[in-house]
Amino acid sequence: MFTLLDTAAATGSSLHWIDIALVVTSVVLVMLFGLKFAHKQDSTDSYFAAGGSIPSWAIGMSIFATLISSVTFLSYPGAAYGGNWILLVQGLMVPLVLLGMIWFIVPLFRRTIRLSTYEYFERRFGFGARLYGSLAFLLIHFSKLGTVFYLVALAVSEFMAWDIYWVIVVIGIAVTIITLLGGMEAVIWMDVIQGFILIVGGLICAGILLFAPEGGPSAVMEVALEDNKIGVGPFDWDFVQLTFWVMAINGVFYAIQKYGTDQTIVQRYLTAKDDRAAKKAAYIGVLASVPIWTLFMFIGTCLYAYYKIEIDPAIVGLKADEVFPHFIANELPIGVKGLIVSALLAGAISSLDSDLNCFAAIGVQDYYVRFKPQSTDRQRLNLGRWIVAISGVASIVIAAIYAYWGGEGILGVLFGLYAIFSSGIVGLFLLGLLVPRANKQGLWVGLIVCILFTAYAVLTSTKFTVGVDPETGDPIKQTLLNLGEWNFTHHKYMLGVYSHLIVFFVGWLASYFWPKKQVDESLTIRGYMKARKMEK
């Protein structure tokens, strides 16, 4: 996660009025476009699943825009500038995993759930599993929503020399109104526009960085190759440091989590006309994402070469994540600068509108419908809109709190908390899908062990600033729980991997301590294969 806490120093200038006009115009046009769908939202099916009428290419672009957030827009160039392309390895694992699983996951969900991803968990392991899955989603995405909102507002406020609180309020109200009135159909079509803006913005930055320095593309590539800025190593089997294998293993579970358990993606499967269109949308989404992830890594490499060729004393002392904002603010011509900031906002809107609609879908389907099954579709639709409005206001408040207190400390605490209480979701999903013998008692043993392990790992590895060294002035950091040599020392990306594996294997083994029960085979991969064979 990148930080822009010192962006004022990094940017050094505000936008020209032409650039500001471009940014404001782009936001207004997106709002107007989204509002055109407001009159169609007369049922929960249209509001949450667009009536199953969206073409696959648009759904795919929406998936792409959701995956490529504004954080990616700034953090990937910063990572490549300061190191190499190792963060790209996670994204490269996604299409490999997708080829092996999407052909059965899409029809599985389209046949077994009405709206919520976590309905599958209930059908397989009972309501407790559904509750755990939905709460995990809410914790993860609500924290992410506030984080993305705050960081983007911070960057935009510095670029445009506007007060950050006004930026938070304006963006928050705009996204909330669009999502509130336009539903999932508006979300998807806005994501299509945002996706194209992101692509154009990235290509323009890459082109300028390639051709602007003396010597052009050949000089840029020479510097990049000489300084080993295009690589995905180290390749050591070391889970303590950030290595290729850490990112590759993490990427496998990331792919399963996003495409198999994440409401923002699974809900889009339901907006397609049929299984074939939904599968096609999933492939389009990920196959579009990988080249753009690569593009932003390439931008970071070009940025490194640019400032090595064109010496700029102003970047001395800047963090790696601050160099790209500095370049945008000081090197891009008038007009282009406004387009890039618009692309940054596009990424934020794509993430925020998806989360708000999915929060409402989960609130209605996982909770309201269960506890008030006799409610009418109109009542469910109205509640969904209320949830969108309340979530939008809450995200504004959270982003404002981040801005007031500063993001780093708060983010560290929140990430630690939701890591503890939302761990093992992929393990839960795979256990239900791959192990017919698994039962809910065994699952809960696995989840309890997983929560205890995650709490231990987070508490013994997450460091917080507790003071300042009076002699050196350096911050003094310590963990909440210090067990000495028994502290968790592996890289933080491996924590998620271990939590999923614990739920899967402990849940599998523990299931044998309870009697075997009949399982609906249509909820397992084995049952799906049998049914498919019979259909053929």
Q: Which of 360, 510, 331, 534 is nearest to 435 (CA)?
A: 510
* First-to-last C-alpha distance (Å) of the chain: 47
Distances (CA, A) of 38 to 43, 211, 462: 12, 44, 45
Other Cβ atoms less than 10 A from the Cβ of 379: the count is 15
In terms of C-beta density within 10 A (0-12 exposed, 13-18 middle, 19 or more buried), how is residue 180 classed? buried
Residue 464 β-bridge partners: 478
For residue 489, being part of any structural domain is answered with: yes
pLDDT for res 422: 57
The better pLDDT of the pair 492, 428 is held by 428
CA-wise closest residue to 153 among 412, 355, 351: 351
Residue 243 lies inside a defined structural domain of this protein: yes
3-state helix, strand, coil in the chain (%, to 5): 75, 0, 20
Residue 382 lies inside a defined structural domain of this protein: yes
Task: Give CA angle at 167 (342, 165), nearest 5°.
Answer: 160
Instruction: Note whether residue 1 is domain-resident.
Output: no
Pair (316, 442) in one structural domain: no
Based on the fold, state whether residues 387 and 469 are members of the same structural domain.
Answer: no
Which whole number is the average pLDDT over 517-535? Answer: 81
Whether residue 443 sits in one domain with residue 399: no
Residues 226 and 238 in one domain: yes
Are residues 519 and 429 located together in one domain of the fold? yes
**Per-residue pLDDT tens over the stretch 301-314:** 999 999 999 888 88
SS3 467: strand
pLDDT(535) > 60:
yes
Which pLDDT tens digit goes with each residue over 136-180? 888 878 777 777 777 788 778 877 778 888 888 888 888 888 888
pLDDT band (50, 70, 90) for residue 5: very low
**In this structure, are 416 and 439 located in the same domain?**
no
What does the DSSP assignment read for 177-231? HHHHHHHHHHHHHHHHHHHHHHHHHHHHHHHHHHHSSTTHHHHHHHHHHHTT-S-
Mean of the per-residue pLDDT values for the chain? 84
What is d(CA 280, CA 249) in angstroms, rounded to the nearest whole number? Answer: 25
Q: Same structural domain for residues 317 and 430? A: no
Task: State whether 278 and 226 are in the same domain.
Answer: yes
Task: Assign 479 to helix, strand or coil.
Answer: strand
User: Contact at 8 Å (CB) between 340 and 21?
Assistant: no
Instruction: Clarify whether residues 42 and 140 are in a common domain.
Output: yes
Question: Which residues neighbour 453 within 8 Å (Cβ) at sequence distance 6 or greater?
Answer: 498, 499, 502
Residue ending a domain, among 405, 422, 439, is 422
pLDDT exceeds 90 at position 505: yes
Spatial CA neighbour of 265 closest among 20, 465, 59:
59
* 2 within domain boundaries: no
Give the mean pLDDT of 379-396: 92
* Pair 411, 428 in one domain: no
pLDDT digits (tens, 9 = 90+) for 178-237: 888 888 888 888 888 888 888 888 899 999 999 988 889 999 999 999 998 998 989 999
Distance in angstroms (rounded) separating the CA atoms of residues 183 and 49: 8
Q: How confident is the model at residue 523 (pLDDT cuts 50, 70, 90)?
A: confident
- What pLDDT score was predicted for residue 55? 92
Does residue 87 contact residue 232 with C-beta atoms inside 8 Å?
no
Find residue 465's DSSP bridge partners: 477
317 C-beta neighbours (distance < 10 Å), count: 10
Residue 193 has what pLDDT? 84
The pLDDT tens digits for 424-453 are 899 999 999 999 999 999 999 999 999 899
SS3 letters for 328-397? HHHHCCCCHHHHHHHHHHHHHHHHHHHHHHHHHHHHHHHHHHHHCCCCCHHHHHHHHHHHHHHHHHHHHH
The answer as to whether 19 is a domain residue is yes
Query: What share of the chain in percent tops pLDDT 90?
Result: 33
Residue pair 144/136 in contact by the 8 Å Cβ criterion: no
Q: What is the pLDDT of residues 95-120, one digit of tens each?
A: 888 878 888 888 888 888 888 889 99
Task: Identify whether 213 is preceded by a cis peptide bond (ω within 30 of 0).
Answer: no
For the cut 50, the answer to whether the pLDDT of residue 415 exceeds it is no
pLDDT at 218: 93
Q: Which helix (H) or strand (E) holds 464?
A: strand 463-468
**Among candidate residues 377, 404, 422, the one where a domain is terminated:** 422
φ, ψ (nearest 5 deg) of residue 279: -65, -45
Higher-confidence position of 472 and 511? 511
For residue 311, give the CATH number of its domain: 1.20.1730.10
Query: Does residue 536 sit within a domain?
Result: no
Query: Does the pLDDT at position 11 exceed 90?
Result: no
One domain, residues 408 and 476: no
Are 397 and 153 in contact by the 8 Å Cβ rule? The answer is: no
Q: State percent of the chain over pLDDT 70.
A: 93
CB within 8 Å of 288: residues ≥ 6 apart: 60, 61, 64, 195
354 vs 448: which has the higher pLDDT:
448
- pLDDT greater than 70 at residue 3: no
Band the pLDDT of 10: cuts 50, 70, 90.
very low
The H or E element containing residue 465 is strand 463-468
Mean pLDDT in residue range 366-379: 91
Number of compact structural domains in the chain: 2
Residue 127 lies in a domain: yes
The closest alpha carbon to 83, from 227, 207, 286, 180, belongs to: 227
User: What range does the domain containing 242 cover?
Assistant: 7-422
Q: Which among 1, 86, 348 is positioned nearest to 201, based on CA atoms?
A: 348
Say how far apart CA 181 and CA 329 lie, in whole Å.
Answer: 35
- Cα(97)–Cα(245) distance, integer angstroms: 15
Q: Is the CB of residue 183 less than 8 Å from the CB of residue 279?
A: no
Question: Domain boundary residue among 422, 453, 477?
Answer: 422
Q: Based on the domain organization, do 392 and 479 belong to the same domain? A: no
For residues 90 and 342, what is the distance between their CA atoms, to the nearest angstrom?
Answer: 27
Write down the pLDDT at residue 416: 47
